Amino acid sequence: DTGAMYRAVAALALRSGTDVDNGAALARLTSRSPIEVGLDESAPLGFRIFAGDREIDEATLQSTEVTAIVSAVAAHAEVRRAMVVAQREVAKKGPVVMAGRDIGTVVLPDAPVKIFLTASVPARIGRRRSQLERAGLDAHAHRLAEEIEERDRLDRTRAISPLAPAPDAHVIDSSEIDADGVVDAICAIVDNL
């Protein structure tokens, strides 16, 4: 989940008081405390996120404060360049399933299989609510709808790596499908290659 890496940068910015509108300052922050992913199947997310040698927990990553600024942080070219390098390093370690809003178009454009998942806002509200509750955070449907719609708008219209499926991506609408159903749909695509 590469979005967690951008959330980690946002958390660092909040902790350090770094201006989220200053891409150069955010990039310096990530060079001082590189964002890394540590795979760990026992972790709630299946991985752990580190900034330097310090782990950033799920409650922090999913907090309202981080959610409010993550799109602004991720819109900076300097931040995106740093995160893309880190994400490609993860992919070099071996076979990987990577989730993120620009994986098929920017991070791994030559990936043999690209899946672009979509879901309705109501379905995403339900999933986000569950995610927040697991992290012990408040989850109000009205606020979640606004956050999701605003994040999508910002991500679709940003100048650097806008949210869009790769031309060769397989698009799956997961609105009415649970996680196992999504896995089955992806496996069917892979099996037919």
Question: Mind listing the pLDDT tens digit for each residue in 47-85?
Answer: 889 998 899 998 899 888 998 999 899 989 999 999 999
- This prediction has a pTM of 0.80
- Does the structure show a pLDDT above 90 at 25? yes
Cα torsion 41, 44, 50, 53: sign: negative
Phi and psi at residue 142, to the nearest 5° = -60, -45
Amino acid 11: pLDDT: 96
Q: Which of 48-52, 122-126, 155-159, 164-168 has the lowest mean pLDDT?
A: 155-159
Per-residue model confidence as pLDDT tens digits over 75-129: 899 999 999 999 999 899 888 888 888 899 999 999 999 999 999 999 998 988 8
CATH architecture of the domain with range 3-191: 3-Layer(aba) Sandwich (3.40)
Phi, psi of 77 (to 5 degrees): -55, -40
Give domain limits for the chain.
Answer: 3-191
Choose between 140 and 67: higher pLDDT.
67
